[in-house]
Structure 1
Amino acid sequence: MPLELAAACVFAVVGLPLAALFGVGLPALLGRPLSEPRTAKLVQWSFLLGLAAALVAIFGYVRSGAEDISVSWGTLFEIPGYSFDLAFYVDGLSLTMLTLSIAITGLIGRFSVTYLHREPGFTRFFVLLLVFSLAMRILVMAGSLDFLFFGWELVGLSSTLLIAFFHERKETVRRALAAYVTYRSCDLGLLFGAAWLAHSAGDSSFAKMFGPGRWPFTLAGVDAGPATAVALLLFVAACGKSAQFPVSGWLPRAMEGPTPSSALFYGALSVHAGVYLMLRVAPLLDAAPFARAVIGAIGALTAIHATFAGRTQTDAKNSLAYATITQVGVIFVEISLGLYTIALFHMVGHVVLRTLQFLRAPNAIEDARVRRNLAKGSMTTGDHLEILFPMPVRAPLYAWSLERFHLDTLLSRFVLDPTLTLSRKLGRFENALEKLIRGRIE
């Protein structure tokens, strides 16, 4: 692909949601928000043109013989031994995720126009949707772990704000805080991993970090020791974003936002960001067999835990949430086995399926009633666990599953509550310090 074409496509893909964000957000800040039809048209056109740019990039990439390209927008800042470059990496993996994210976000945006009609937070929802879309595009096309971290954090921020969309409810805000604290705690893994990798490899850019060849058949220019440590740190961040054991409890409780945002974040894109991160650094995993074993074990444990917990849920969205966690755990197992291409196809199929299921969740109960009536009440599903486990084993398993194996309680007691307590104390200290400084100035 010619560098000029790649640069133009990257500019369009990143610039369109940014322009739409200013077009929708600025009038709202000035107290004169756009009407619903104008907001919808502006957002939809930004997604349509962005999708067209992504498809042009794919066409150029395939026609050029699948040649990877790095597009740089310059250096944001530089110090001796380190520079933060605004670089985008165009290859098969990034183009696949880019096209998928734009298509799914655009679809959900169109669905939300009707779903949120006359909702007081209509404009706010689409502002956050555009922020998320921009963040995902940066995340999947970032040319370095440093730049990827920027998109990663924006995804977490927009996710938290959409969980708290109905912020009038106290419980909704608490659950949004739980998700945010989990994100931020686990994101330390990505921060430290990126710093360690930059120190070990001398550069955190993907083009220089990995050797020649197409993904995933490149080689990491890092020794086994640092590769293992960095891979495990990055997996900690992936566990937080993808709701893996033992921090999976926040995702089912994050269904407080509108159904379209649940479909977008916890059925489709955000929950798979951790999968993408592991696929992006797949060559690093090849040099770290111990890290791959840990990833496989955590993925399998997550799938088992989510399967049992999901069978005890009493509403459609929570059942889908645990089904999503189960499949993401299986995808991590595939990654641990080195089946990167299979994991990519599994992820794409799972994103499409869960998006459809979440958007149809309000009708799921009625569909089940219709099927049961057609089967004259004799329809049974999901008996495989009943066959595998006798009643003396099933009973305590289901009892623990009802409590989600107490993971939510442990997470709240040892992570969420201490963090919130520390935040309140720091807030009071800041207020006291501010009063002291003001008193001396006056």
Structure 2
Amino acid sequence: MISESTLSAIGAGVVIAPSLLLAILGLTSLIGRPLSERTIGRLTQVATVAGLLGAVAILALMLALDTRHVPVELGNWVVIPEQHFHFHLKFVFDRLSVPFVILSFILCGTIGAFANVYLHKEVGYRRFFVFYAMFLLGMVVSSLAGTIETLFAGWELVGLSSALLVAFFHERPSPVRNGLRVWSVYRIADAAFLIAAVAMHHQTGAGDFEVLMGSGPWPNGVAELTHAQALFVGTLLLIAAAGKSALIPFSGWLPRAMEGPTPSSAVFYGALSVHLGAYMLLRVSPILALSPILSGMVILLGLTTAIFAAMTTRVQTDIKNALAFASLTQVGIIVVEIGLGLRYLALAHIVGHACLRTLQLLRAPSLLHDYHAMENAIGSHLPRNRSPWEKLLPAGARNWFYRLAFERGYLDAVLADYIVQPVLNLFRWCDAMERRWTDMLSGGESRESDRVPAHHETVEEFV
């Protein structure tokens, strides 16, 4: 008979494998002893296969023992008695986390094998795999998180690695600016996430999902919150999911994220990271079930995003952006399914769509080559099929929708003017006030460069 300690040991091994990979790759780079490409490739394969085998073993044991919930407790890492707060590190294997963590290992292993060849002799080869290991660990922690603090830790690792890989080609200014933009949007989403986590602690006394969901494993749990509490916490988590998965109004950063290498674009915005917000909504779906208003908001947000992305993907001039917005279309539909309470359908949709989109993004470079070769062979462009909308809509309406889609709904400009700009102005004002206060205390004078920025100053260099 398999004991609980054995299950816990195997479960801990699933998290330890990517943790060791990140530690080895990161430490060898920090001490100036970088590993060879062959060694990095082998370590990546070993860590991915070890984690995958551990997850599959847990799944097999769960089926054999007829259990649907295997917790792995690692205790309290931070305890603040005065604030009634504790950081409880806990991982959970259940019907939601096991498929998603297996998907993460399979797709990350595929991307790792592809990148090992794709980035051969690339100057930033080792740097890519350090960020890749960080992303893999973040996805595993997010997938298996049993508390909202653990989920936030994985969430941050995914966000940080995503922004760093967008700015991977840092020799050019554009990738760096776009990486900063992605990071700034993630900060807004993470702020909502943190407020939701604090609210959960005050309302339930803990951030444990088991305490929050009450009785029954996923998806049968019933959240122990009032309707008002569920609406408040659920709205904050919906904002966090929208920022992470590029849902409206945060969709403006998605095309900027295509600056990264093709392997990172595939694993982030085609396969895993873009689905992380939807996965989080699935994890807290019992909260959505408590509030019809919140469920309606989820459905409306997903439907609006799907329609917007379907329009935008049709007018993109490069294949990576077209596939990114095509992915966003499906993510919007997945969010609608979650809002309607179709949880198993949404989970199956995530798994199938992630696999398909990964294949498409990895195949895209050779597909373009084959497409151009075919056009050169026939001596002209391939014929284009007429859309049925050309018959249903007048020319003026088609032109209006085309411009709206071509400008990506003007969401990027709105994001810069009404979210990024005010936040940066506030931080600059706070920095200037702090400098003036310290100068006054030290008897010095404020420098001209420390003045409070005027309202008309822009962040063109940043955005």
| TM-score in terms of structure 2 length | 0.89
Check whether the contact 2:12–2:72 (CA below 8 A) recurs between aligned residues. no
CA-to-partner distance for each residue in 1:26-84, whole Å, 9 max, x for gaps?
A: 22212121111011111111111111111101101111213312211111122333322
Structure 1 residue 59 and structure 2 residue 63: aligned?
A: no
AA partner of residue 21 (structure 1)? L
Q: Which runs of 5+ in 2 are unaligned?
A: 445-463
In 2: Cα distance, 1:240 partner to 1:124 partner: 26
Match of 1:282 in 2: 285
In 1: Cα distance, 2:129 partner to 2:266 partner: 15
Structure 1 residue 393 and structure 2 residue 394: aligned?
A: no
Match of 1:256 in 2: 259
AA partner of residue 111 (structure 1)? F
Equivalent position SS for 2:78: strand
Structure 1 residue 413 and structure 2 residue 428: aligned?
A: no
Distance change >3 Å, CA 170–CA 214, structure 1 → 2: same
Match of 2:345 in 1: 342
Structure 1 residue 159 and structure 2 residue 162: aligned?
A: yes
Structure 1 residue 291 and structure 2 residue 294: aligned?
A: yes
Q: Equivalent residues in 2 for 1:139-178 (5 A)?
A: 139-178=142-181
Equivalent position SS for 2:223: coil
Q: Equivalent residues in 2 for 1:7-406 (5 A)?
A: 7-80=8-81, 81-369=84-372, 379-381=383-385, 383-406=387-410
In 2: Cα distance, 1:329 partner to 1:66 partner: 32
Q: Supply the RMSD in Å over aligned alpha carbons.
A: 2.3
Distance change >3 Å, CA 220–CA 47, structure 1 → 2: same
In 1: Cα distance, 2:42 partner to 2:424 partner: 40
Check whether the contact 1:163–1:255 (CA below 8 A) recurs between aligned residues. yes
Check whether the contact 1:70–1:207 (CA below 8 A) recurs between aligned residues. no
Check whether the contact 1:400–1:406 (CA below 8 A) recurs between aligned residues. yes
Check whether the contact 2:89–2:149 (CA below 8 A) recurs between aligned residues. no
CA-to-partner distance for each residue in 1:320-353, whole Å, 9 max, x for gaps?
A: 1111111101111111111111111111111001
Distance change >3 Å, CA 219–CA 384, structure 1 → 2: farther
Distance change >3 Å, CA 430–CA 173, structure 1 → 2: farther
Instruction: Name whichever of 385-394 and 9-18 sits farther off.
Output: 385-394
AA partner of residue 410 (structure 2)? H
Equivalent position SS for 2:96: helix
Distance change >3 Å, CA 357–CA 426, structure 1 → 2: farther
CA positional deviation for 1:287:
0.5
Check whether the contact 1:181–1:419 (CA below 8 A) recurs between aligned residues. no
CA positional deviation for 1:354:
0.9
In 1: Cα distance, 2:57 partner to 2:401 partner: 51
Distance change >3 Å, CA 168–CA 228, structure 1 → 2: same
In 2: Cα distance, 1:382 partner to 1:290 partner: 40
AA partner of residue 355 (structure 1)? T
In 2: Cα distance, 1:434 partner to 1:33 partner: 42
Distance change >3 Å, CA 146–CA 123, structure 1 → 2: same
Distance change >3 Å, CA 68–CA 124, structure 1 → 2: same
| TM-score in terms of structure 1 length | 0.93
Percentage of identical aligned residues: 42
AA partner of residue 395 (structure 1)? N
In 1: Cα distance, 2:24 partner to 2:227 partner: 48
AA partner of residue 139 (structure 1)? S
In 2: Cα distance, 1:173 partner to 1:420 partner: 17
In 2: Cα distance, 1:45 partner to 1:436 partner: 58
Equivalent position SS for 2:214: coil
In 1: Cα distance, 2:101 partner to 2:164 partner: 23
Distance change >3 Å, CA 223–CA 132, structure 1 → 2: same
Check whether the contact 1:66–1:92 (CA below 8 A) recurs between aligned residues. no
In 2: Cα distance, 1:301 partner to 1:59 partner: 40
Match of 1:6 in 2: 7
Check whether the contact 1:116–1:122 (CA below 8 A) recurs between aligned residues. yes
Distance change >3 Å, CA 437–CA 160, structure 1 → 2: farther
CA-to-partner distance for each residue in 1:153-186, whole Å, 9 max, x for gaps?
A: 1111111001011111111111111111111112
CA positional deviation for 1:385:
3.5
In 2: Cα distance, 1:389 partner to 1:426 partner: 51
CA-to-partner distance for each residue in 1:390-410, whole Å, 9 max, x for gaps?
A: 333211110121111211111
Instruction: Name whichever of 125-134 and 399-408 sits farther off.
Output: 399-408
Equivalent position SS for 2:304: helix
Q: Which runs of 5+ in 1 are unaligned?
A: none
